[in-house]
A and B are shown apart, each in its own frame.
Chain A
Amino acid sequence: MRPLIAFITVSAIAVSALPALAQTVDLTKPPVSRDPRPYKLPPVFETKLPNGLTVMLAEDGRFPLVTTQLVFLAGNKRDPKEIPGLAASVASMLMQGTSTRTYQQIAEELDGLGGTLNAATGADALTLDGSVLAENEEKMLDLISDISRNAIFPEKELDLHKQNRKQTMLLQHSQAAYVANEEYRKLIFGDTPYAHVGPTEESIEKLNQKTLADFRDSLLVPNNAYLILVGKLGARAQMLKAITDEFGSWQQKAVPAYTAPKLPESKRQLVLIDRPGSVQADMRLGRVAATYNDPAFFPETVGGIIEGGGPSSRLFLDIREKRGYAYDVHTELSALADGGNFSTVTQVRNEVAADALQGILEHLDRMGKEPVEKQELSDAKSYANGVFLLGMEPQRGLADKLTQIKVMNLPKNYLETYTTRINSVEPDQIESAAKKYLATDTDTIVVVGDASQIEEPLKKIGTFQVIQPEAPKQDPAKPNK
């Protein structure tokens, strides 16, 4: 039953009692807070089925929901060189029909369960990510099992996928931020598999039932996968039985080896992509950097927060608040399994493009030259720990973190020790990480904007190679009527 709603319109007792209390607080100062209430992560049960599928279960009964992630080590980096975007297309096409379910049946069943299921890739993993009303978790497992094992990639759906993927490519290229990131990744990761973020028109043409099935058959196998369930799970024995019923008969097989390539040495590269009519310059600058298992990772994380993490960071306070050049300026530490990249992103109006870039470069370089202040260090640590805690509120937060542990090959106690490791970062560690990963002498800088307005002023920074974006070939799909 719904709890009774108390409509307490200022009662006599409340009014007489309150003025006395009001005098006890000093409105001119922030209050002193009591100690934080500790938060204990729900215990995670881990086991492995005989076919090599790793299973992780975490009970979180706050909401009548279950999050299910089936994660394969089969991200974009496993795309064959000549077919960038294949992994992502396999992911989308998994949902488009199996030997026993049409697309429509899958869609209707999913909606009827009260759930969502998305299949998508990142650089390192392909993930089937489901969430459903808890009562229907077993049916969700059945759907996920069928999709990951028995997709048939119907010809008709594949044709449509190819047509629409070309249109979404056009759409993505109409956004300056996407164009900047695409070029930046290409420049910093060079010839390695992390260099691409999407397909090309040519690679879309190469998609057929066989290329999709080959990728699926070699990499989407149980011994290359993790099944992670977080939510209102109920009795463990019953849950394990349901999982075994759905996934136990799945045959394991040898997975083609993947050797992480050596990432290229960072070097100064300046590129300006012309976007006529742009009223501002979109910039992304940075370089290959430390990832999780590198001792510099936590210092780099905290340094990145001080520099450009959130609205009290150096860049935000200077470039936006003090100089008014930008609405948004922030740093990003993208930590992948085989290497990270540290970048700074902003969009500034044309007239101040060069000045803003100059200012950003100075800030980034300063961190490698002088120790951060004590106060900003402790503020940044609180921020990192707070964001970590806030991320645990929705059920997905824990599921995503467990996935991250597996995909990035992190220690089992990564979550339990996160706060301690953040807190142990010292100023000299930040300085040396910044010297290595934030200092800009080997940064790649990509600017997307109206070259007629900004090419000249940017010469102050260096000589930018100007790229005219190729006019996309309009490929009028045959009208379907």
Chain B
Amino acid sequence: MLCAAATVLAAAESDFHIPFEKYKLQNGMRVVLSRDTAVPVIALYVIYDVGARSEEKGRTGFAHLFEHMMFEGSANIKKGEHFKYVSANGGQMNGSTHPDYTDYFETMPSNKLGLALWLESDRMRSLAITAENLKDQQEAVKQERRLSFDNQPYNTAIVDKWPALVYGNFQSSHSLIGSFEDLEAASVDDVSKFFKTYYAPNNAVLVIAGDFETVEAKKLVEQYFGGIPSQPPPTRLDMTEPVRTAGKSEVVKDQHARVPGLVIGWPAPKRHSDEWYALGMLDSVLTGGESCRMQLDLVKGKQTVIQFEAGLGWPFESFNDFKDPGEYAAFVLYKPNYRAQQIADEIQEEIDRIAKDGVDDKELDRVKAVLRYSKVSGLQSSLGRAKLLGQYELLDGKPEMVDQDFTNLFKVTSAQIQVAAKKYLNKERRDVLVIQPAPPSPPATPPPAASRKEDAK
């Protein structure tokens, strides 16, 4: 079986790559093209170099509020028409706000490439910033917060409490969905300023993936985006974290939760460093696939954990959510007859055992097969390819990391995993947020954000 896995990797490495070409417009906009004509669809992906970690004090949640404004119309597209143009032409669209980027995308039948470019360029050139649109979207975002966070188990603690616990710098520690108070305080001027500063072509990457002709696509990109003026590059806020030597812990009560949960995490090493890759492999050993350690030892063996998820970008989509600094974290739900402390210690024991004994070749090969599969599987859709190429260009200036990241991961040795586990995922640095089920608060009083310090560590 060992041999079989090794053969697969060797064969697969040589025959599956994402082709792409990248260039820059005169106004500084970076363009990445990745052609694949198998199905007549295209994905257009525009990613801006600004996210929730660029928000200022008193304006938490603003990056996301702004993202909503981008769907409200521009010089040539009336309010509500953006949605209409996309769906009436057989497409799907969305946008999303992340800690370090914000993205917008359309997938459409491939003959609609020009339309998609027109829609994206019109709002980059001439967003409609009006008091009415702002008011509407303040309400929509507040409603989104109620739906996705305030009315759900765990999520409020995860979005509001976890960053506050583990980060010391406001840029990272504030709630990325924002408070109602800050959302309401946003003004039309704030929106204009944010637009001018961050939504300039030289602060964006455009990706087209799917069924297009390269010459035609380049011509269209130039026609639609070439005339949008560049802006002075934004001043980047200081994201440096204060040095801390010890982990932190907190316990919160959650009126919607019925099963106890905990988040456990450790400040992560620098993106793309050797240690970062080593932690990536360690994460796969612990939490990747069916046969990972958390599953075999804690869900099956000790039978204490019910469900788990983890990653270098957790609680966001992926490790591409954060430039530096980031945190490696896991979220677990566990049986109510155990204490949080026991669960945290059991997870720590798993890590300490890896630090002490390493990971044998058989297990490493298995983990590589899992990663290899997830890479190929995640790149099947043109939108999947466009997102990764765009994120890697924006964050690292290197779309080729779409392949290279895996190559680097596969080079990680057991010894490197041991070193990284000892240095980064040790008990002293560990952060723990315990989320305990609590009965609902009495009616007519706002739910108190009950929170107290406890020996969760």
Interface residues in chain A, defined as those with a beta carbon under 8 Å from any beta carbon in chain B: 2-3, 5-10, 15, 18-19, 21-22, 24-25, 27-31, 33-39, 62-65, 103-104, 106-117, 131-133, 135-136, 139, 160, 163-164, 167-168, 170-171, 173-176, 276-280, 282, 310-312, 316-317, 320-321, 324-328, 347-349, 378-379, 382-383, 385-387, 389-390, 392-395, 450, 452-453, 472, 474, 476-481
The answer to whether residues A33 and B1 also contact, given A2-B403, A24-B223, A135-B8 and a CB cut-off of 8 A, is no
Neighbouring A residues of B152 by C-beta, 8 Å: 175
Stretch at the interface among B19-27, B195-203, B352-360: B19-27
- Docked pose: A170 CA to B153 CA in angstroms: 11
B111:A35 contact, CB within 8 angstroms? yes
Tell me the count of chain B residues lying within 8 A, CB to CB, of chain A: 115
- Docked pose: A450 CA to B443 CA in angstroms: 8
Neighbouring A residues of B379 by C-beta, 8 Å: 63
Question: Does B241 have its Cβ within 8 Å of any Cβ on chain A?
Answer: no
A107:B290 contact, CB within 8 angstroms? yes
Question: Smallest Cβ distance from A141 to chain B, in angstroms?
Answer: 15
With CB as the reference atom, state the residue of chain A lying closest to B256: A174
Question: Does B381 have its Cβ within 8 Å of any Cβ on chain A?
Answer: yes
B151:A176 contact, CB within 8 angstroms? yes
- Docked pose: A175 CA to B75 CA in angstroms: 41
A386:B90 contact, CB within 8 angstroms? yes
Neighbouring A residues of B365 by C-beta, 8 Å: 112
Question: Does B56 have its Cβ within 8 Å of any Cβ on chain A?
Answer: no
Question: Does B89 have its Cβ within 8 Å of any Cβ on chain A?
Answer: yes
A112:B23 contact, CB within 8 angstroms? no
B377:A389 contact, CB within 8 angstroms? no
Question: Smallest Cβ distance from B93 to chain A, in angstroms?
Answer: 8
With CB as the reference atom, state the residue of chain A lying closest to B148: A327
B92:A386 contact, CB within 8 angstroms? yes
Neighbouring B residues of A116 by C-beta, 8 Å: 290, 373
Stretch at the interface among B274-282, B317-325, B329-337, B424-432: B329-337
Question: Does B83 have its Cβ within 8 Å of any Cβ on chain A?
Answer: yes
- Complex interface bits, B9-28 against A, C-beta within 8 A gives 1, otherwise 0: 00110011101111111100
Question: Does B255 have its Cβ within 8 Å of any Cβ on chain A?
Answer: yes
B136:A321 contact, CB within 8 angstroms? yes
Question: Does B366 have its Cβ within 8 Å of any Cβ on chain A?
Answer: yes
The answer to whether residues A167 and B259 also contact, given A114-B369, A175-B152, A452-B444 and a CB cut-off of 8 A, is yes
Question: Smallest Cβ distance from A357 to chain B, in angstroms?
Answer: 15
Which of A5, A277, A390 is B107 in contact with, Cβ under 8 Å? A390
B84:A379 contact, CB within 8 angstroms? yes
With CB as the reference atom, state the residue of chain B lying closest to A476: B337
**What are 20 A-B interface contacts by the 8 Å CB criterion?**
A2-B403, A5-B22, A27-B118, A30-B119, A33-B89, A37-B40, A108-B290, A112-B369, A116-B290, A164-B299, A167-B335, A276-B440, A276-B441, A277-B447, A312-B83, A348-B143, A382-B87, A386-B87, A394-B381, A450-B443
B226:A320 contact, CB within 8 angstroms? no
Neighbouring B residues of A472 by C-beta, 8 Å: 258
The answer to whether residues A393 and B380 also contact, given A5-B21, A112-B5, A277-B440 and a CB cut-off of 8 A, is yes
- Docked pose: A417 CA to B385 CA in angstroms: 30
With CB as the reference atom, state the residue of chain B lying closest to A113: B369
B25:A389 contact, CB within 8 angstroms? no
A389:B41 contact, CB within 8 angstroms? yes
Neighbouring B residues of A38 by C-beta, 8 Å: 40
Question: Does B185 have its Cβ within 8 Å of any Cβ on chain A?
Answer: no
Neighbouring B residues of A282 by C-beta, 8 Å: 151
A18:B91 contact, CB within 8 angstroms? no
Neighbouring B residues of A170 by C-beta, 8 Å: 258-259
Which of B39, B139, B381 is A39 in contact with, Cβ under 8 Å? B39
A280:B151 contact, CB within 8 angstroms? yes
B112:A33 contact, CB within 8 angstroms? yes
A33:B26 contact, CB within 8 angstroms? no
Neighbouring B residues of A113 by C-beta, 8 Å: 4-5, 8, 369
B373:A28 contact, CB within 8 angstroms? no
- Complex interface bits, B96-114 against A, C-beta within 8 A gives 1, otherwise 0: 0000000000011111101
B224:A25 contact, CB within 8 angstroms? yes
A30:B92 contact, CB within 8 angstroms? no
With CB as the reference atom, state the residue of chain B lying closest to A378: B88
A477:B296 contact, CB within 8 angstroms? no
B143:A133 contact, CB within 8 angstroms? no
- Docked pose: A359 CA to B140 CA in angstroms: 17
- Complex interface bits, B222-234 against A, C-beta within 8 A gives 1, otherwise 0: 1110110000000
Question: Does B240 have its Cβ within 8 Å of any Cβ on chain A?
Answer: no
Question: Does B257 have its Cβ within 8 Å of any Cβ on chain A?
Answer: yes
- Docked pose: A163 CA to B300 CA in angstroms: 12
The answer to whether residues A389 and B22 also contact, given A114-B372, A116-B373, A164-B306 and a CB cut-off of 8 A, is no
Max count, chain B CB within 10 A of own CB: residue among A7, A27, A168, A378 = A27
